[in-house]
Amino acid sequence: MQTQSLDNLQLINEIQLGTHLNHAVEGGRRADFALMLALLSTDLHENIPVDTTPIETLSSQQLRAYFEIPAPQPLTSTPSCYQRAAEQAQAFHQASLTSTRLLAQLQPTALSYPPQKTKGLPEDLFHNLSLHERRKLPPIELKPLQATPQDLYLALIKSKRQSEMSWAA
């Protein structure tokens, strides 16, 4: 007498049964149909065919090139923004408001024109200083400190060790 183990029959979906499932339905063999359905896996993740298609993410520059959209409006001024603003002003005086709007859309100027040559101070504060006080200001505008909390922590540890060594000596 032969016994068959059902452990090696791993049916994931009805495609593995071929046409046997259809023939069982057409032939009215309910027992075969029920057996074949019972052998199918009940895990939905196995039954649902999921093919992951790689999604290509396009950068904003690629999308702008594809849809022929001009460069975005800069947030702060650049040297070319001053020239563009002068061209727009000239277009306003020579032509009309419509031509100015057209130029603004084709070549957008900056949203903000921060003060220049004020040594990092607000413009109104800098202009309220006397010439002697302006002379005392550092000649170069100071850049903000480029430090991370980890760098600060390491610097504190280093200075603590150095002070411990100086006390011990």
Mean pLDDT by 10 residues, the chain (169 residues): 55 73 87 83 63 78 88 84 89 89 86 82 87 82 72 89 84
- What phi, psi does 119 have (nearest 5°)? 55, 30
Residue 93: the pLDDT is 92
Structure pTM?
0.39
Let me know the angle formed at the C-alpha of 87 by 83 and 92, rounded to the nearest 5 degrees.
150
Residue 46: the pLDDT is 61
CA pair distance 60, 105, nearest whole angstrom: 18
CA pair distance 65, 135, nearest whole angstrom: 49
Residue 2: the pLDDT is 55
CA pair distance 152, 158, nearest whole angstrom: 10
- What phi, psi does 112 have (nearest 5°)? -135, 135
Residue 17: the pLDDT is 77
CA pair distance 28, 22, nearest whole angstrom: 10
